[in-house]
Amino acid sequence: MTTASVEAVWEAVRDIGALHTRLVPGFVVDTKLEGNARLVTFGNGMVVREPIVSIDDNAHRLVWTAEGGRTTHYNASLEVMDDAGFGVRVIWTADFLPDEAAEAIAAAMSTGAAVMKKTLDLLE
């Protein structure tokens, strides 16, 4: 939950080449666009190519997949929604294989979500 507006949060989320500056600075240290994908360098040094599946401005929903890293399959979405006067909710969902990566993925998503909240709370 963040106090920023849906529009401000969605603008940051949909700026797919600026993860490292607008959404999760430090957690991601660099993002480079490569056609319809982004090359993401995480703070731990891992580099993952993330093809963008869709950017839906009406639903405020971004969907991507990942190549490289710890998984053999990874598909994720980030949705931005107004939570009926309580603020803006960002829902990050990921499906991946192998199941043994669950602990590491959960820890990374938890850290990323905390950085995202801190960053988004600074938006007006």
Q: Which CATH number covers residue 55?
A: 3.30.530.20
Domain count, the chain: 1
Decide if pLDDT at 1 tops 80.
Answer: no
In a domain, 1, yes or no: no
Question: What letters, b where the CB count within 10 A reaches 16 and e where it falls short, cover 46-72?
Answer: eebebebeeeeeeebbbbbbbeebebe
In a domain, 115, yes or no: yes
In a domain, 10, yes or no: yes
- pLDDT for 124 equals 63
Tens-digit pLDDT profile for residues 34-69 = 999 999 999 999 999 999 999 999 999 999 999 988
In a domain, 20, yes or no: yes
Decide if pLDDT at 84 tops 80.
Answer: no
Domain range for 56? 6-120
Tens-digit pLDDT profile for residues 8-31 = 999 999 999 999 999 999 999 999
